[in-house]
Amino acid sequence: MLVALPSSAAFGIVVYTTLGPEYAGQGAMAGLAGAAALGIAAPLFGRTAGLISAPCAPAAAVLSALIAGLMAGQSDVRMEPAAILPLVSLTVLFAGGLQISYGLLGGGKLIKFIPYPVVSGYLSSVGIIIALGQLPKLFGIPKGTSLLQGIMSPATWKWQGLVVGIITMAVMALAPLVTRRIPAAILGLLAGIITYFSMTPFCPELLNSTHNPLIIGPIQASGSFIGIISDRVTSLAHLEISSIKRILVPALTLSALLSIDTLKTCVGLDALTRNRHNSNRELIGQGIGNLSSFLLGGMPGAGTMGPTLVNLNSGGRTPRAGIMEGAFVVLALLFMSPLIAWVPIGSLSGILLVIAWRMFDRSMFRLLSYPAGRLDFTVIAGVIVVALTVDLIAASGVGIALAILLFIREQIKAPVIRRKCYLNQMSSKIRRRSTERDILSRNGDQAVFCELQGNLFFGTTDQLFTQLESDLRTKTWMLLDMRHASSIDYTAVHLFEQMHAQLAERGGQLLFSGMPSALLDQRDFERYLAQMGIVRDRDGVKIAETREEALEWMEQQILDKANAIIIDEEQSLNIADFELFHGLDKSALVMLESCMEELSLQAGEKAFTQGDYGDQLFLIRKGSVKVMLPLEGGKRHHIATIERGGFFGELAFLDSGVRSADVEAREASEIFILSRSRFDSVSQTSIFLGEHVFVRLALVISERLRQADLELRILEER
């Protein structure tokens, strides 16, 4: 309470003396009332352990700017103080309501993601505005005199207030070097009060409590407690649209700044207490606290780091500590008001100047030392310049706009193409015949495969088009895999339509695979593209359910275009038809046939499973099979599809070891089974047969390894 009390009174004075120096006492009362309301209500509902809430610098800066603008007639006409004060209260009401809505809508997590350069610019602006507002009070410059003119005219200074302020600041700066048990603000305030009264023998007029510009002066509430609340509630019935328009932007700015200030304090508090606060609940608690402050005619505020650290170091680690702090403020109001009236304005100005100095982010200048940080410095400087030349409310709009630009900058910098290769580099999982492999090796560069990632929106479409422009001019088929894409907008859809039209001019096709369809987070890309008209039955973009399906389709298009010989799939192959046995004479083929068995599998039936022992080589006469690798949790990974004319089980045929995967029929299939033990018996009578089969087997395996090596290199490219 001792830490929060002087700063709360000072912030209230900052706001109300914008109306005139005669409002200092009313401002101090507003600050103390705000400290009491926030201190009790915010921890009661927010429940963040150890957090202390009180009026703060951002609130003082926003409300001071609002009052100054209304008095200068920035909205439409100049307003008198009597008409301005209800609008200030209305701003507090709206800000509290907005904070509650942020919490109810889950905005607590979003507010924490505002870029730090924007937050730094806000807080540095607040620090500068507070400092510029307190320097005239420190020097005692008469109202209506500019700061520069006043500082250049020492004759206008009130040296007593200047001495009090300088000593307060000096004690606050040196106090941490002596002791950390007593907060520097308390020691500075005590030093300022002692200095003030030590000058009274030389300046007897300092003992005058009325019409004394060097002290707060008498603190009196305008009516009873119940009467104040009644007046606030009654004032809501007389709201006008014009009033709401005047305070809407300031209320929005105030709610955002107070929320950011609170959540920043909560994050720091979590690190110290090793707990986790509930952001949304705390925002609701802060909103209720500010609504309570509105009802009492007090200042709005937020969770503040200074009092919170003092509370934490003193052992206050539950929400009860915050409630007790607010209760002590009430007691101070009831029993210490006469003493608070004698607090020197210069001492409060000194405290605020130290706070302003600490708020200013001096580390921003280090950003200028390296190129990557200069844009962040520009953002901080931009917010500060707008705050000083226009007002803090306009700076909030600039800050939001710059936050959007920072987000777009980061998205644009991030690559949207995760991987790109051609079909002669990465093939489908179908193990094709050598003639087909040769065609795909020669012509596979006509098909492009791209794996996309991140957000596909207006900021990244130019990057995507630039990287694919040469392929769009020369290639025929293009597959875009969307499994890692996060979002898509109309600009990206328009680009895809242009890409498809450019490929279609050469008889080509644009394909999509891996389309996200998570309805809970609104990522049903396929439905969105259909609604935009890019997916059509006849001439639209083709969508494949899986990447494997799309790769197979493109391979088939290349084979069809090259007039590859299509063998009758319904006819079962003989031993002589297998590439593995090409070059063997009839006698060798007869010998092979003698050691083979036949096997028929229905769709889904397994030839063997992982872990089985065996030494057989399986050759597919008709149909096709899938090679599946079992994974944890009952899942399986598709390794390959082997069609008619292919073979599987070669590893166990070579080493008689365990099977490394499951093999199941994709459709009704007929298979030759060649046993290693029988083959060894036959090959003893024909060395050429054994040598021929093992050489051809080794060549096929080496070819597969080379293809696997090529695909792994592509996958590992960075």
Kindly list the domain boundaries of the chain, sorted by start residue. Answer: 4-364, 417-561, 575-716
Nearest to 175 by CA among 354, 8, 300: 354
Select the more confidently predicted residue: 224 or 429. Answer: 429
Across 21-35, 45-59, 128-142, 394-408, least confident range: 394-408
DSSP class of 666 = S
The H or E element containing residue 475 is none
- Whole-angstrom CA distances from 400 to 34, 100, 245, 253, 293 are 28, 20, 20, 10, 27
Mean pLDDT, residues 226-253 taken together: 74
Query: Which burial class, exposed, middle or buried, applies to 687 when counting CB atoms under 10 A from its CB (0-12, 13-18, 19+)?
Result: exposed
Burial tier of 369 (Cβ tally within 10 Å: 0-12, 13-18, 19+): exposed
Q: What's the rounded Cα separation, in Å, for the pair 588 and 591?
A: 5
DSSP for residue 332: H
From the list 405, 499, 456, 492, the residue with the least C-alpha distance to 118 is 405
Residue 101, number of CB atoms within 10 A of its CB: 14
Q: What value does the mean pLDDT of the chain take?
A: 86
Beta bridge partners of 257: none
181 backbone φψ class: left, alpha, beta (φ>0; ψ -120 to 50): alpha
Contact assessment for residue 584 and residue 692, using Cβ atoms and an 8 Å cutoff: yes
The pLDDT of 229-255, averaged and rounded, is: 77
Average the pLDDT over each of 125-139, 563-577, 621-635 and give the range with the smallest value.
563-577
Which residue in 601, 581, 598 sits closest to 693, CA to CA? 581
Position 157 scores a pLDDT of 87
- Strand 624-630 to strand 662-665: parallel, antiparallel, or no bridges (unpaired)? antiparallel
**What confidence score (pLDDT) does residue 291 get?**
95
Look up tokens 């008409």; give the residue: 83
Q: Do strands 616-622 and 542-544 pair parallel, antiparallel, or not at all (unpaired)? A: unpaired
- Please determine, for residue 538, whether its predicted confidence score (pLDDT) is greater than 90: no
> What confidence tens digit (pLDDT) does each residue in 456-513 have?
888 889 899 999 999 999 999 999 999 888 888 899 999 999 999 999 998 999 999 9
Per-residue confidence band for 521, with pLDDT thresholds at 50, 70 and 90: very low
Cβ contact 185:6 at 8 Å: yes
What pLDDT is attached to residue 682? 87
- What gap in Å lies between CA 301 and CA 461, rounded to an integer? 43
The token duo for 623 is 């149909």
pLDDT tens column, 330-379:
998 888 888 888 889 899 889 889 988 988 989 899 988 888 788 888 88
Domain covering 575-716 assigned CATH 3.90.850.10 in the classification: no
| Pick among 3.40.50.1980, 3.30.750.24, 3.10.450.50, 1.10.357.10: CATH of 417-561 | 3.30.750.24
As a whole number of angstroms, the distance between CA 619 and CA 112 comes to: 62
With cut-offs at 50, 70 and 90, classify the pLDDT of residue 48. very high
Instruction: Give Rg (Cα) of the chain.
Output: 39
Q: Nearest 5°: phi and psi at 370?
A: -140, 145
**Two tokens at 295?**
């009802």
> Out of 71-80, 82-91, 325-334, 625-634, which region has the weakest mean confidence (pLDDT)?
71-80
